[in-house]
Amino acid sequence: MLIMFYTNEMEIGILSDSHVQKPKKYTEKKKKDLRKSNSADLDPNSSKEMAEYKSLLKRLAFVFQDVDHIIHTGDVCCKDFILDLENINSKTTPVSVVKGNMDEMWGINIWPRTLTLIFEGIKIGVAHRLEDFALFDPKDIRVFVYGHTHIPSIKEDPNGVLLINPGSVSRPKAPAKKKYAWQKPEPKPTVAILTIEDGLISSFIKRI
């Protein structure tokens, strides 16, 4: 799937592996009825889970407050989360999504496996796994974004394609300890920011 966007400058927020489920909201009457029936649908932790869900959206709203577009590289696990992402700030922010292996497990197949996005003439390949980079022509794209590992990373492949993994916003994993590092890395929830201006590309990892 190919999607094109044209503007003078683009700031793109990238996230992956949110693995969230939006907790159910019940009226007091519904809660009372569920308690009477001892229904398993009444989760005693739903208030805590809703607070965590809203906290994640609030942190993403802050870190993505200036972005023009959002890319989610899969393992969303909740269709409502994408709708909430689109409206985390005062303006509606378009969100492009690919499906991950966990989305398929949840029966969510509304998103494609891969995407090609064009911003200011710069082609960006999007997939959940790094292995899917092989589905793209490295001479045709400038950037490839992916997830799955839960470990943030920005590097360049031998063809000059920028490879960006934003890490995970909810279940982060720490990078491997470097040979001469004295401190062991700690897992931190992260996203990536990609800026395209006049054909120049820059990107960085940001903790949320």
> Directed axis angle between helix 46-63 and helix 79-86, to 10°?
40
| Other C-beta atoms lying within 10 Å of the C-beta of residue 165 | 25
Q: Which domain holds residue 63?
A: 2-207
- Lowest mean pLDDT across 6-15, 32-41, 53-62, 143-152: 32-41
CATH number of 115's domain: 3.60.21.10
- What is the band of 41 on the pLDDT scale with cuts at 50, 70, 90? very low
Rank 78-82, 117-121, 160-164 by mean pLDDT and report only the highest: 160-164
Q: What is the mean pLDDT of the chain?
A: 86
Mean pLDDT, range 52-68, rounded to an integer: 94
Q: Smallest Cα–Cα separation from 165: which of 138, 192, 189, 188?
A: 192
pLDDT digits (tens, 9 = 90+) for 44-59: 456 778 888 899 999 9
Q: Is the dihedral of CA 89, 90, 92, 94 positive or negative?
A: negative
Q: pLDDT, tens digit, for every residue of 104-133?
A: 988 999 999 999 999 988 999 999 999 999
Tell me what pLDDT residue 56 has.
94
CA–CA separation, 167 vs 77, rounded Å? 16
Q: How many domains does the chain have?
A: 1
pLDDT digits (tens, 9 = 90+) for 172-188: 998 776 666 567 778 99
Residue-level pLDDT at 39: 45
Tell me the mean pLDDT in the region 126-148: 96
Q: How far apart are CA 128 and CA 121, in angstroms?
A: 23
What is the pTM (predicted TM-score) of this model?
Answer: 0.85
pLDDT at 21: 83
Predicted confidence (pLDDT) at residue 8 exceeds the cutoff of 80 = no
176 or 168, higher pLDDT:
168
